């Protein structure tokens, strides 16, 4: 599937993909990474609903977890491509935002 | 932590089961992570969590339904739109019946408000973690002297050293003792509360200072000179200020670090300032002030201090992963080694125990709070029964409306949902109003609550209490809503529409209402019996003779600093001079002094024995020791039973004379006169000495007003070495507080650097000592009366309704010649049957439950028959009145009107 069709990602979903960029993590570690990276508290419900979506869409793969239901998650190839596409999209936004501060500070003329 | 996880697991039920199975366990872990990192009781976290769970759960459920539309089966019932429709309809119904709505909401609000207020206390006092680092790992360590019935025995420095060496499950052991001392230099001398701590004490708690540093081992290096034997430990010269003292005395100046102050005559350097919210929570038996003004590092000589100089309350931190039972096993080992090394431990019945700090701190108040929680739960149940009754009445009044709705195509499930939605609305409104009531209740609790309730000041409507309120309101709505809703939605269509629409519910509804009333009566009877027991306790307390007469007594404490009065003779001279000056105050009828003072909370105990103790140390007993100034018993109004009290010669010449109380005299020499007998005591050094009994006085209650307490020996302060602290009592015929300016002048003229401390009249001390009992009495009493009122209203409601229903029948009866009296009897009998059934259930329930109040009761047993019988009788009387009003109304019915109505 075309990565673009998944864009834009929710901030939490994007953070989850980013947290897994270096390899699979347990749910607890994902929670930790996402909360450390986010400016606001991310509650478990928000996190796992995003995880569920990502798994359903094939961006994440669930591993293990027969016992006690605790699983770990890995990013799939598709997930990697979607994350890259999202990063490009955000980068474009950042580029367009250049100078926004300056212009905001400049007093209105006329 | 564990209960928070359990609560979260419960909340997760908002999610569809498939989602829960897949992620539930992981989500719990994630939630625990948030708790760890974002604080446990932050309002925001719980509110956010609730939002997250409810919002996320609902949309996940919606998704699950959308995804599996085919497998869901009969759709319809369950969508958001239906629910909103029910809600709108419910609001309309409630607005249309303002009277019903008001009564129902207020009833539920009273129940919920009481519950939320008490739960907020449970939360802050019993559930919330103590404000230290990993508080679960903190334990108090106590010694016990079983042969002398001493349960909370502190430690000496060498014992603390031994414990540190012999326990590995405890990674650190610290100690603390608090006492009052004068602070001089920079402004007027003031008496302040000081804490002496081991240098590692703040590390054990895991507390950092706001400014500067905590103590380092060098701060506690023993002074070159030997420490005095039984004197309070002199404060060393590194000190940390409390935030309060820093603000009051130093204006919050950050430059105080490095400055020196004079504490108890010792020059001390300020090395740090504590954070504002720091408080020290230890069990009341430790007699440690939770908010000392100043902390000093004790210079303890761990190797050379005598082992009988015990004053340190020991607090330990468990090694990570170690359990209390491991620590306990090591303490038992240490006890065995103590006993091998020193014979004295064998004769004491010496034991040691480690107790989780939280358990130790809350032990005394737990039963009170749980009893109150039980009481408010009863109030809420009674309120629910009342509202259920109202709902049943209303449902029967609405039968036609409901029947029409059913005929128009609403099915039973829809009807049921509609009625439950209305109940939930009432619950929600009740919860909101209840929060207001709870807030008022909390403010009242904080204003009148006893000082013995730890952390009362931190009680507030925080996120946990809000969550509790939401759950209580929902739970209550289900309790009072489900049965009436089932009842109302189960009717037979044809019978209602076919019948003449007066409704009134079938036999089922009537049974349900009667059952609700019986339940109310039973529950409120239990509460009222609790109230009755408290009333009797309070009366017993008020009538008990404490051994002194508090009226017209002014009291205050002085501390003569050892640093400026190093010799006992100097301190004794000061005491006698002050006695003379105080006697010279116009209006002062009697003057005396003692240390420690009754009801001050300070213990001072020692051993005593007779000849038999010389042969076997186990024959020593434990008694209270007191240091007195002549005139003490006369001033306090304590009765002299035999012999004489102290005079100035006893004091000045330091004669080995003692006065004992009647409890000691009767225990030691039953049936004989104690005067002229000898006692073996050990007030000073390690060796026992003989003293002569010169008099016997009436026993004084020292620790509490509620119980007699320990037998007591009175020495002269001079004989005990004049240890500086003395609480003075002055009796006057006028108002005690008018003496205070003259007392200040008298003390200042002798030594302007000695501050007056704890200046209060005796009646306020007695009043405060009764605070805990009064508090429980007022609360349980208030809940009991509320319950009684609710039950009476419930009974009245049921009977009035019956009377209205049977108006026609009564009319017929009277038309055929029945007398008014027989009608009254008919109604009364119905009311009394319900009341008696309630009493019959209530009494055995109360017998089972009042046992939990045992620790609150004074001079009355939890199954006191007088209270039980009186309360039941009172109840039946109230039931009579509540039945009589509708009964009389029944008689006034005009038969013609009644018949026409039918």
pLDDT bin (cut points 50, 70, 90) of residue B501 is: very low
Q: Which of A32, A49, A71 sits opposite B26 (nearest CB)?
A: A71
Nearest CA-CA partner of B388 in B234, B514, B496: B514
For residue B192, count CB atoms less than 10 angstroms from its CB and return exposed for 0-12, middle for 13-18, buried for 19 or more.
buried
Distance, CA of B900 to CA of B902 (rounded, Å): 5
Q: Give B278 to chain A, closest Cα distance, Å.
A: 28
What does the pLDDT look like over B734-746, one tens digit per residue?
A: 899 999 999 999 9
Distance, CA of B788 to CA of B730 (rounded, Å): 47
Distance, CA of B495 to CA of B491 (rounded, Å): 8
Helix (H) or strand (E) holding B640: strand B640-643
CB contacts < 8 Å between A and B, how many? 70
pLDDT bin (cut points 50, 70, 90) of residue B782 is: confident
Beta bridge partners, B153, equal: B143
8 Å CB contact of B29 and A45? no
Mutual orientation of helices B507-543 and B771-805 as an angle, nearest 10°? 150
- Which of B173-187, B407-421, B503-517, B567-581 has maximum average pLDDT? B567-581
8 Å CB contact of A35 and B45? no
Residue partners of B653: CB distance under 8 A and separation at least 6? none
Residue B27 touches chain A, beta carbons under 8 Å: yes
Paired sense of beta strands B678-681 and B689-697, if any:
antiparallel
> What's CA B174's distance to the chain center, in Å?
27
Q: What is the mean pLDDT of residues B58-74?
A: 58
* Mean of all residue pLDDT scores within chain B: 85
8 Å CB contact of A31 and B56? no
ipTM over 0.95: no
8 Å CB contact of B30 and A27? yes
Q: Which of B26, B33, B48 sits opposite A69 (nearest CB)?
A: B26
pLDDT bin (cut points 50, 70, 90) of residue B395 is: confident
- The C-alpha angle with vertex B308 and arms to B302 and B312, in degrees rounded to 5, equals 60
Distance, CA of B798 to CA of B790 (rounded, Å): 12
8 Å CB contact of A27 and B26? yes
Distance, CA of B360 to CA of A12 (rounded, Å): 44
Residue partners of B708: CB distance under 8 A and separation at least 6? B663, B699, B701
Q: Give A2 to chain B, closest Cα distance, Å.
A: 23
Name the residue in chain A with its Cα closest to that of B27: A44
Q: Which of A41, A44, A68 sits opposite B38 (nearest CB)?
A: A41
Name the residue in chain A with its Cα closest to that of B56: A45
8 Å CB contact of A69 and B52? no
* pLDDT of B68 over the 80 cut: no
Q: What is the mean pLDDT of residues B852-856?
A: 79
Residue partners of B682: CB distance under 8 A and separation at least 6? B606, B607, B688, B689
Quick one: pLDDT at residue B901?
Answer: 57
Q: What is the mean pLDDT of residues B34-48?
A: 69
* pLDDT of B231 over the 50 cut: no
* pLDDT of B78 over the 50 cut: no
What does the pLDDT look like over A33-88, one tens digit per residue?
A: 998 888 778 888 889 989 988 988 889 988 775 555 578 899 999 999 999 999 99
8 Å CB contact of B27 and A48? yes
Quick one: pLDDT at residue B212?
Answer: 93
Peptide bond between residue B249 and the one before it cis (omega within 30 degrees of 0): no
Peptide bond between residue A8 and the one before it cis (omega within 30 degrees of 0): yes
Assign B207 to helix, strand or coil. coil
8 Å CB contact of B23 and A46? no
Residue partners of B411: CB distance under 8 A and separation at least 6? none
> Which 8-state DSSP code applies to residue B238?
E
Distance, CA of B744 to CA of B752 (rounded, Å): 9
For residues B506 and B683, the model is more confident at B683
B386-416 burial: b if 16+ Cβ within 10 Å, else e? bbbbbbbbbbbebbeebbeebeeebeeebbb
Assign B468 to helix, strand or coil. helix
Name the residue in chain B with its Cα closest to that of A68: B25
What does the pLDDT look like over B509-527, one tens digit per residue?
A: 778 888 888 888 898 899 8
This prediction's pTM: 0.70
pLDDT bin (cut points 50, 70, 90) of residue B150 is: confident
Residue A76 touches chain B, beta carbons under 8 Å: no
What tokens appear for B429 in the block? 């409104």
8 Å CB contact of B34 and A41? yes
Assign B143 to helix, strand or coil. strand
Helix (H) or strand (E) holding B836: helix B820-849
Is residue B593 left, alpha or beta, with left meaning phi > 0 and alpha meaning psi from -120 to 50?
beta
Identify the residue whose tokens are 């030997």: B226
Q: What is the mean pLDDT of residues B607-629?
A: 88
Q: Which of B11, B23, B51, B66 to mutate to test the interface with A (most CBs of A within 10 A)?
A: B23
Domains of chain A listed by start with CATH number = 3-105 (1.10.10.10)
Quick one: pLDDT at residue B208?
Answer: 92
What tokens appear for B293 in the block? 């003004």
For residues B58 and B334, the model is more confident at B334
Residue B292 touches chain A, beta carbons under 8 Å: no
Residues 15-54 of A with CB under 8 A from B: 27-28, 31-32, 35, 41, 43-49, 51-52
* pLDDT of B503 over the 70 cut: no
- Which of B389-398, B428-437, B457-466 has maximum average pLDDT? B428-437
Identify the residue whose tokens are 């002014």: B554
CB atoms within 10 A of CB A67: 7
For residue B489, count CB atoms less than 10 angstroms from its CB and return exposed for 0-12, middle for 13-18, buried for 19 or more.
buried
Quick one: pLDDT at residue A65?
Answer: 56
Q: For residue A71, which residues of chain B lie inside 8 Å, CB to CB?
A: 26
CA dihedral sign of residues B430, B436, B442, B448 = negative
Quick one: pLDDT at residue B156?
Answer: 92
Q: For residue B55, which residues of chain A lie inside 8 Å, CB to CB?
A: 45
Q: Is the distance from CB of B709 to CB of B701 less than 8 angstroms? A: yes
Q: For residue A70, which residues of chain B lie inside 8 Å, CB to CB?
A: 25-26, 29
Nearest CA-CA partner of B399 in B484, B480, B478: B484
8 Å CB contact of A44 and B57? no
Least confident interval from B136-140, B384-388, B558-562: B558-562
Measured CA to CA in angstroms, residue B420 lies from B479, B615, B821 at distances of 10, 79, 42
Identify the residue whose tokens are 């409390």: B242
For residue B615, count CB atoms less than 10 angstroms from its CB and return exposed for 0-12, middle for 13-18, buried for 19 or more.
exposed
Residue partners of A18: CB distance under 8 A and separation at least 6? A37, A83
Identify the residue whose tokens are 């195509």: B409
Q: How many CA atoms lie within 13 A of A13 on its CB side?
A: 24
Distance, CA of B68 to CA of B80 (rounded, Å): 17
Q: What is the mean pLDDT of residues B747-756?
A: 90
For residues B816 and B470, the model is more confident at B470
Quick one: pLDDT at residue B227?
Answer: 47
8 Å CB contact of A52 and B45? no
Q: For residue B29, which residues of chain A lie inside 8 Å, CB to CB?
A: 27-28, 31, 70
- Which of B11-15, B257-261, B284-288, B363-367 has maximum average pLDDT? B257-261
pLDDT bin (cut points 50, 70, 90) of residue B492 is: low
pLDDT bin (cut points 50, 70, 90) of residue B220 is: confident
pLDDT bin (cut points 50, 70, 90) of residue B631 is: very high
Residue partners of B430: CB distance under 8 A and separation at least 6? B104, B105, B106, B107, B108, B109, B111, B112, B473, B476
What does the pLDDT look like over B687-712, one tens digit per residue?
A: 789 999 999 999 999 888 888 888 99
Nearest CA-CA partner of B173 in B315, B380, B340, B374: B315
Quick one: pLDDT at residue B813?
Answer: 81
Quick one: pLDDT at residue B580?
Answer: 94
Quick one: pLDDT at residue B28?
Answer: 87
Quick one: pLDDT at residue B325?
Answer: 93
CA dihedral sign of residues B283, B287, B288, B289 = positive
Quick one: pLDDT at residue B175?
Answer: 94
Quick one: pLDDT at residue B353?
Answer: 94
- Which of B143-152, B785-794, B834-843 has maximum average pLDDT? B834-843
8 Å CB contact of A35 and B21? no
Quick one: pLDDT at residue B72?
Answer: 30
Nearest CA-CA partner of B316 in B364, B350, B353, B366: B353
Q: Which of A15, A45, A67 to mutate to test the interface with B (most CBs of B within 10 A)?
A: A45
What does the pLDDT look like over B348-370, one tens digit per residue?
A: 889 999 999 999 998 888 888 88
Mutual orientation of helices B399-407 and B366-397 as an angle, nearest 10°? 70
* pLDDT of B499 over the 50 cut: no
Q: Which of B30, B32, B48 to mutate to test the interface with A (most CBs of A within 10 A)?
A: B30
pLDDT bin (cut points 50, 70, 90) of residue B822 is: confident
Paired sense of beta strands B190-197 and B294-297, if any:
parallel
Distance, CA of B658 to CA of A33 (rounded, Å): 73
8 Å CB contact of A32 and B38? no
Residue partners of A104: CB distance under 8 A and separation at least 6? none
What does the pLDDT look like over B246-270, one tens digit per residue?
A: 998 888 998 999 998 888 778 889 9
Q: For residue A27, which residues of chain B lie inside 8 Å, CB to CB?
A: 23, 26, 29-30
Which runs of E-coded beta strand occur in B43-161?
Answer: 138-145, 150-153
């Amino acid at each position: 599937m075309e990565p673009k069709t998944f864009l834009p990602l929710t901030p939490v979903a994007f953070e989850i993909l980013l947290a897994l960029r270096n390899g699979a993590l347990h749910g607890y570690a994902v929670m930790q990474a996402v909360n450390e990276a986010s400016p606001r508290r991310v509650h478990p419900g928000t996190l796992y609903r995003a995880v569920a979506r990502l798994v359903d869409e094939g961006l994440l793969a669930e591993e293990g977890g027969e016992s006690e239901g605790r699983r770990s998650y890995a990013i799939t190839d598709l997930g990697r491509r979607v994350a890259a596409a999202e990063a490009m999209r955000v980068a474009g936004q950042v580029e367009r935002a250049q100078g926004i501060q300056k212009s905001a500070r400049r007093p209105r003329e006329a | 932590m564990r209960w928070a996880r359990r609560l979260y697991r419960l909340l997760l039920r908002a999610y569809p089961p498939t989602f829960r199975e897949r992620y539930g366990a992981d989500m719990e872990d994630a939630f625990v992570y948030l708790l760890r990192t974002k604080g446990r009781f932050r309002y925001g976290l719980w509110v956010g969590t609730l939002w997250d769970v409810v919002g996320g759960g609902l949309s996940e459920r919606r998704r699950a339904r959308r995804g599996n539309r085919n497998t869901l089966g009969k759709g319809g019932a369950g969508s958001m739109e239906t629910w909103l429709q029910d809600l709108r309809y419910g609001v309309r119904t409630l607005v249309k019946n303002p009277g019903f709505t008001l009564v129902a909401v207020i009833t539920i609000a009273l129940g919920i408000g009481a519950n939320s207020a008490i739960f907020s206390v449970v939360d802050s006092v019993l559930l919330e973690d103590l404000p230290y680092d990993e508080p679960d790992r903190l334990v108090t360590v106590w010694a016990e002297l079983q042969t002398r019935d001493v349960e909370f025995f502190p430690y000496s420095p060498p014992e603390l050293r031994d414990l540190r060496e012999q326990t590995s499950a405890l990674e650190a052991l610290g100690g603390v003792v608090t006492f009052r001392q004068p602070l001089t230099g920079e402004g007027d001398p003031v008496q302040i509360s000081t804490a002496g701590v081991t240098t590692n004490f703040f590390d054990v708690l895991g507390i950092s200072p706001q400014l500067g540093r905590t103590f380092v081992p060098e701060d506690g290096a023993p002074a070159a000179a030997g420490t005095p034997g039984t004197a309070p430990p002199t404060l060393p010269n590194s000190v940390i200020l409390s935030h309060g003292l820093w603000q009051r005395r130093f204006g919050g100046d950050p430059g105080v670090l490095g400055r020196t102050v004079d504490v108890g005559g010792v020059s001390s350097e300020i090395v740090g300032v504590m954070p504002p919210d720091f408080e020290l929570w230890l069990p009341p038996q430790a007699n440690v002030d939770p908010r000392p003004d100043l902390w000093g590092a004790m210079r303890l000589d761990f190797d050379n201090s005598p082992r009988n100089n015990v004053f340190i309350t020991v607090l330990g931190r468990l090694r990570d992963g170690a359990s209390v039972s491991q620590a306990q096993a090591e303490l038992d080992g240490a006890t065995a080694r103590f006993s091998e090394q020193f014979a004295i431990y064998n004769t004491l019945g010496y034991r040691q125990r480690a107790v989780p700090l939280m358990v130790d701190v809350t032990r005394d108040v737990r039963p009170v709070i749980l009893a109150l929680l039980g009481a408010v739960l009863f109030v809420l149940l009674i309120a629910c029964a009342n509202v259920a009754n109202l709902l049943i009445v209303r449902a029967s009044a609405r039968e036609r409306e409901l029947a029409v709705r059913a005929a128009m195509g609403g099915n039973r499930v829809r009807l049921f949902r509609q009625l439950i939605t209305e109940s939930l609305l009432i619950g929600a409104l009740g919860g909101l109003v209840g929060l207001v009531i709870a807030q008022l209740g909390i403010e009242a609790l904080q204003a009148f609550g006893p000082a013995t309730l730890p952390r009362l000041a931190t009680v507030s409507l925080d996120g946990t209490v809000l969550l509790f309120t939401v759950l209580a309101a929902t739970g209550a709505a289900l309790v009072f809503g489900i049965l009436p809703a089932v009842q109302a939605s189960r009717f037979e269509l044809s019978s209602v529409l076919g019948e003449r629409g007066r409704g009134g519910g079938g036999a089922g509804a009537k049974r349900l209402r009667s059952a609700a009333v019986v339940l109310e009566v039973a529950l409120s009877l239990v509460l009222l019996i609790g109230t009755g027991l408290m009333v009797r306790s309070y009366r017993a307390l008020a009538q008990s003779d404490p051994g002194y007469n508090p009226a017209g007594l002014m009291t205050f404490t002085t501390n003569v600093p050892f640093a400026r009065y190093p010799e006992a003779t100097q301190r004794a001279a000061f005491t006698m001079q002050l006695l003379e000056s105080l006697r010279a105050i116009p209006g002062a009828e009697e003057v005396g002094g003692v240390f420690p003072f009754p009801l001050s909370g300070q213990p001072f105990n020692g051993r005593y024995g007779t000849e038999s103790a010389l042969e076997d140390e186990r024959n020593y007993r434990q008694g209270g020791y007191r240091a007195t100034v002549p005139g003490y018993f006369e001033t306090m109004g304590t009765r002299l039973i035999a012999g004489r009290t102290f005079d100035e010669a006893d004091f000045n010449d330091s004669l080995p004379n003692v006065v004992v109380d009647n409890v000691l005299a009767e225990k030691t020499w039953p049936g004989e006169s104690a005067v002229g007998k000898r006692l073996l005591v050990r007030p000073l050094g390690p060796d026992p000495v003989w003293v002569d009994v010169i008099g016997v006085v009436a026993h004084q209650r020292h620790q509490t007003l509620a119980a007699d307490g320990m037998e007591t020996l009175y020495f002269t302060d001079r004989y005990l070495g004049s240890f500086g602290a003395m609480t003075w009592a002055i009796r006057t015929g006028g108002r005690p507080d008018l003496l205070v300016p003259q007392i200040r002048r008298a003390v200042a003229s002798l030594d302007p650097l000695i501050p007056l401390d704890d200046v209060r009249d005796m009646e306020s001390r007695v009043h405060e000592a009764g605070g805990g009992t009064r508090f429980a009495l007022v609360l349980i009493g208030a809940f009991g009366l509320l319950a009684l009122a609710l039950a009476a209203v419930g009974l009245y409601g049921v009977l009035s309704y019956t009377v209205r229903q049977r108006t026609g029948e009564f009319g017929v009866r009277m038309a055929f010649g029945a007398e008014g009296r027989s009608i009254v009897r008919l109604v009364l009998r119905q009311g009394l049957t319900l009341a008696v059934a309630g009493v019959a259930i209530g009494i055995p329930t109360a017998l089972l439950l009042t046992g939990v109040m045992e620790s609150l009761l004074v001079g009355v047993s939890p199954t006191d028959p007088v209270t039980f019988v009186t309360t039941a009788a009172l109840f039946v009387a109230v039931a009579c009145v509540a039945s009589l009003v509708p009964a009389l109304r029944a008689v006034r019915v005009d038969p013609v009107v009644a018949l026409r109505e039918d």
